[in-house]
């Protein structure tokens, strides 16, 4: 739950905008964050604050009166820290290097991080979008995002979400080739495979109780998870896709799951940084923003 000041700040932005999306763009946050703040505030005051429809939002009479008082409160509190904020803007100047898996970087971080540059002149971002494991020391990485176990126990890491894995195929593939009953049945069916760019070997498929199966005669092989997802959507074979790739298509009916009883335990999605002593304000700002984005379940609901 948001603290009350932040809730009011997000509400005031919505009250001065034509849509939650516009309010989010002004604050450099997500529309889902605005929606959540308004909903929590409505529950707290016991009144409807906005009428909502597909064309936009219309503030209620109660919401108008509340916004007038809320603006005074927020402005007053901001005034107390006016000097500190100016000093912070100076401290935020400089480069922040980020490394992230390709899909997460392209589809879930890029558009949400760019507003930080507009809000804080002097802040520079370097976003490395790669599926290779980056050496954070050699590459001077400030912040990393990674799915699964971290190799260095010296990182300062936050687990922000759980990533599940599904064996999926198109309904047409299931109808034409049949549904596997056990993981071993996959050897008789067309499959896709993902190559680990770090080792040059095929990634194994993961199943319950830590059982592994490595595809040996896949119809399609790639080193890019997004390309593999597109191949599965094209019906060339069954594939094991992560939840942030597969679940939007499962909900839309474009993909169906099989072997659900063999689904492995979810993996952690981490945001991490090397432990190098004091953390500059610019790195703390970007780190906290990435944590906020990836902690929000709505971030992964859209089709990538």
Residue 170 lies in a domain: yes
Question: What pLDDT score was predicted for residue 78?
Answer: 64
Residue 213 lies in a domain: yes
From 80, 109, 124, the end of a domain falls on 80
Range of the domain at 149: 92-161+268-300
Evaluate if residue 80 carries a pLDDT over 70: no
pLDDT band at residue 298, thresholds of 50, 70 and 90?
confident
In 70-195, where do the E strands start and end? 94-100, 123-129, 143-147, 155-163, 165-169, 192-194
Residue 142 lies in a domain: yes
* Domain co-membership, 260 together with 170: yes
Pairing of strands 123-129, 94-100: parallel
Specify the pTM.
0.66
Chain segment 84-127, per-residue pLDDT in tens: 445 456 778 899 999 999 889 998 898 889 989 888 989 999 99
* Domain co-membership, 172 together with 150: no
Evaluate if residue 138 carries a pLDDT over 80: no
Question: What pLDDT score was predicted for residue 153?
Answer: 61
Give me the CATH number covering residue 47: 1.10.10.10
* Domain co-membership, 169 together with 131: no
Chain segment 15-46, per-residue pLDDT in tens: 888 888 888 877 777 888 889 889 999 999 99
* Domain co-membership, 116 together with 245: no
Residue 87 lies in a domain: no
- Of 249, 269, 164, give the one whose Cα is nearest residue 207: 164
């Amino acid at each position: 739950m948001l603290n009350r000041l932040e809730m009011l700040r997000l509400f005031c932005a919505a009250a001065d905008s034509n849509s939650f999306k516009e309010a989010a763009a002004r604050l450099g946050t997500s529309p889902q964050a605005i929606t959540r703040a308004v909903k929590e505030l409505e529950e707290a005051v016991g009144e409807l604050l906005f009428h909502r429809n597909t064309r936009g939002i219309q503030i209620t009479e109660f919401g108008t009166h509340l916004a007038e008082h809320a603006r005074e409160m927020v402005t007053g509190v901001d005034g107390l820290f006016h000097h500190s904020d100016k000093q912070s803007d100076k401290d935020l100047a400089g480069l922040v290097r980020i490394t992230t898996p390709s899909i997460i970087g392209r589809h879930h971080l890029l558009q949400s991080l760019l507003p930080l540059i507009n809000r804080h002149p002097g802040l520079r971002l370097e976003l490395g979008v790669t599926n290779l494991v980056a050496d954070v020391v050699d590459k001077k990485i400030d912040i990393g995002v990674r799915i699964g176990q971290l190799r260095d126990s010296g990182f300062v890491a936050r687990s922000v979400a759980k990533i599940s894995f599904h064996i999926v195929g198109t309904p047409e593939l299931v109808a034409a080739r049949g549904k596997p009953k056990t993981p071993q049945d996959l050897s008789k069916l067309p499959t896709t495979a993902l190559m680990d760019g770090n080792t040059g070997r095929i990634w194994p498929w993961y199943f319950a109780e830590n059982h592994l199966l490595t595809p040996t005669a896949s119809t399609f092989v790639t080193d890019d998870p997004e390309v593999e997802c597109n191949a599965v959507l094209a019906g060339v074979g069954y594939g094991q896709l992560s939840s942030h790739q597969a679940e939007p298509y499962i909900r839309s009916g474009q993909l169906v799951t099989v072997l659900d009883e063999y689904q492995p335990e979810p993996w952690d999605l981490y945001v991490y940084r090397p432990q190098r002593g004091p953390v500059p304000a610019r790195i703390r700002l970007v780190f906290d923003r990435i944590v906020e984005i990836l902690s929000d379940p709505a971030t992964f609901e859209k089709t990538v």
